[in-house]
Amino acid sequence: MCRLLAYLGPNISLNRLLFEPEHSLEKQAWQPRELREAKLNADGFGFGWYHHRQAMRYRQPIPIWNDANLQDLATSLHADLYLATVRSATPGLGVGHYNTQPFRYQNWLFMHNGYIRDFAQTGRPQIRKILAHEFEANIQGNTDSEYIFALILHFLENNNMTQAIIDAFSILNEILGQHSALLNIMLSDGERIYATRYAINGLSPSLYYGVNVEGFAPGSQLIVSEALNDSTHWQVVDEHRLLIMSRDDDRVELAL
């Protein structure tokens, strides 16, 4: 289980998201409010952004509070789109750079909050049978998250991203049977942010979105695992939903 954050809006420093809010992502690493199956998010952190429309990322397999360089980096880095996460590793899925999000393929960035129960025995062998070689070969770690990303990319070859997510979740429903999976994901191509609140045989993790939230500039759009402050602008994302946010403030919410 992890805590996720996505931002789209006017250019801001990363510090504004990671450290400044009263319930910032950094605070969610050591004092989460809605983390049901863990107590801390101390198994790494990472964030992604776009520089001249190219996907960039920074990942560390250490607690976010142990990176002595992060405060300077977060203060100096400015962008208009961010994905960021703090990680609580699923038992059996190791801590290291290759298992630390966000994952990247070409210009796509991806994060996942949740798990596939008994992934090594249930999900991984079945997903490998489906994946085109190109996407299996791109997998560097052993997390369920990276395999879910590869599965979505597989279906993206012949579909748009919305349909690729729908097809990937449909296949997971088929192959997992009675096993559970929590599938809150966030993806971006630098223009749009796609986020899901979804579970198979389980209760979806928390997810909220906010537009023009107090403390952020007009036009700011955020999707978060936990609200960053006490603003009344935060809205709960319903279970089994796909939320799409774009630069023109045209939000779409679809049932999955």
| Sign of the torsion formed by the C-alpha atoms of 163, 181, 208 and 76 | negative
CA 108/CA 105 separation, integer angstroms: 5
Residue 2 annotated in active site: yes
CA 4/CA 25 separation, integer angstroms: 8
At residue 143, what is the residue type?
A: T
User: Phi/psi of residue 41, each to 5°?
Assistant: -120, 75
DSSP string, 76-128: H-EEEEEEEEEE-PPTTS--SGGGSSPEEETTEEEEEEEEETTTTTTHHHHHH
* Catalytic residue of the set 2, 42, 93, 153: 2
Q: Which residues are catalytic?
A: 2
